[in-house]
Amino acid sequence: MTMPYDTSAEAIRERLRACGLRPTRQREELAGLLFGSGDRHVTAEGLHREAMVGGTQVSLATVYNTLHQFTQAGLLREVVVDSGRAYFDTNTSRHHHFFNTHTHELADIHGDAISVGRLPEAPEGTRVEDVEVVVRVTPARV
Amino acid sequence: MTMPYDTSAEAIRERLRACGLRPTRQREELAGLLFGSGDRHVTAEGLHREAMVGGTQVSLATVYNTLHQFTQAGLLREVVVDSGRAYFDTNTSRHHHFFNTHTHELADIHGDAISVGRLPEAPEGTRVEDVEVVVRVTPARV
DNA sequence: ATAGCTGCAAATGCTTTGCAAGGCC
DNA sequence: GGCCTTGCAAAGCATTTGCAGCTAT
């Protein structure tokens, strides 16, 4: 579990500025939702809905833009578990995931709860950027 | 590396029939391309182009349908490495992948070349279906 | 003031679907 | 013949983009 962030309005503004992002109303609200309550896994659609329900007017396009800007700034990490939908994780440390293929829920697996041993050499002319383990699960049969 | 299949026209027809799929001209051609030359990683778009170049008239919709039918029949396996594009692998045995995020090339990592140790328990009410390791690589800096 | 953001709507890319025509058994 | 398949074109999603107007500094 990642250390909870200081989620005061000013702290969030400071964090955004530190990334070279202007603290706008929309970014502040989205950051508040994302970093205000422990580790989270969101989709653009889901975060957008949440913001709307929370009373903040944000366009879906801005949610997409913001998620990518946050990812680029290192505040988020993209998790690829579904071809057709992008997931973002507020836990940016090295770790892995359970993915429920029925409910489409993501759950963290702490980095040290899995050991990947004996990684073979990367193909000629390439270097390893990241190692991602996805454990697909389904509802247990009754 | 998987054992190469018998790729004679009749053998392919037999394989299709065994899966409950009628051996049509399109399926035979696609199966020929897929299983005719060792392990392959394809996208619908790519396989479609290949078929067209090879002189077989197949619609993209049929390529999609066929890829899914083959996957359901256990002849193919879907590999999720990119949110936005589906990849299919002719190697259906348990193994993992290198994915070049620049060239979008996939390469197999033999199942026994990586050991995933100490898998934590699946979340309440679920059972593990599959464990997939994706090693993302980029062109080495010069 | 000005460079950066936002929102809308249109465009894009991949994939699926509906339905009429064609092909396998 | 009857049912499965195909092909086309249209529809469907998730995502990106262009551009006019708004906002933080």
pLDDT for res B14: 93
Residue A1 lies in a domain: no
> Do residues B18 and B81 share a domain?
yes
**Cβ neighbours of B70 (radius 10 Å):** 23
pLDDT for res A112: 84
> Do residues A63 and A35 share a domain?
yes
User: Which residue stretches of A36-130 are H helix?
Assistant: 44-53, 60-72
pLDDT at A4 over 60: no
How many domains does chain A contain in total?
Answer: 2
Residue B132 lies in a domain: yes
> Do residues A132 and A115 share a domain?
yes
Residue A48 lies in a domain: yes
Straight-line distance from the first to the last Cα atom of chain A, in angstroms, rounded to the nearest whole number: 31
> Do residues B65 and B123 share a domain?
no
> Do residues A75 and A121 share a domain?
no
Work out the minimum CA distance from A11 to partner chain B, whole angstroms: 33
Residue B35 lies in a domain: yes
Name A48's Cβ contacts closer than 8 Å, sequence gap at least 6.
A58, A60, A63
> Do residues B55 and B118 share a domain?
no
Spell A67-104 as b/e; 16+ CB within 10 A means b: bebbbeeebbbebbbbeeebbbbbbeeebbbbbbeeee
Cβ-based contacts of A130 with chain B (< 8 Å): 135-136
> Do residues A39 and A100 share a domain?
no
Tens of pLDDT along chain B (142 residues) come to 555 566 688 899 999 999 999 999 999 999 999 999 889 999 999 999 999 999 989 999 999 999 999 999 999 999 999 999 999 999 999 999 999 999 999 999 988 888 887 788 899 999 999 999 999 999 987 6
Tens of pLDDT along A67-105?
999 999 999 999 999 999 999 999 999 999 999 999 999
Q: Which nucleotide has the shortest C1'-to-CA distance from A19?
A: C4
From the list A80, A110, A137, the residue facing B128 with the nearest CB is A137
In whole angstroms, what separates CA A5 from the centre of its chain?
15
> Do residues B22 and B63 share a domain?
yes
In order, the DSSP letters of B86-126 are -EEES--SS-EEEEETTT--EEEE-GGGSEEE-PPPPPTTE
User: Which residue stretches of chain A are H helix?
Assistant: 9-18, 25-35, 44-53, 60-72
pLDDT for res A98: 96
> Do residues B15 and B54 share a domain?
yes
pLDDT at A29 over 90: yes
> Do residues B101 and B78 share a domain?
no
From the list A120, A136, A141, the residue facing B113 with the nearest CB is A120
Distance CA B82, CA B136 (A): 11
Q: What is the CATH number of the domain that holds A66?
A: 1.10.10.10
Q: Are B50 and B33 in contact (CB under 8 A)?
A: yes
> Do residues A74 and A23 share a domain?
yes
Q: Are B89 and B2 in contact (CB under 8 A)?
A: no
Domain assignment of residue B57, given as a range: 9-86
> Do residues B129 and B82 share a domain?
no
Residue B119 lies in a domain: yes
Token pair belonging to B96: 């993992």
For the segment A32-58, the average pLDDT, to the nearest whole number, is 95
Name A94's Cβ contacts closer than 8 Å, sequence gap at least 6.
A111
pLDDT for res A89: 98
Q: How many helices (H) and strands (E) does chain A have?
A: 4, 7
Q: What is the pLDDT confidence band of residue A113, given thresholds at 50, 70 and 90?
A: confident
A71 CB contact with strand D at below 7 Å = no
Work out the minimum CA distance from B62 to partner chain A, whole angstroms: 19
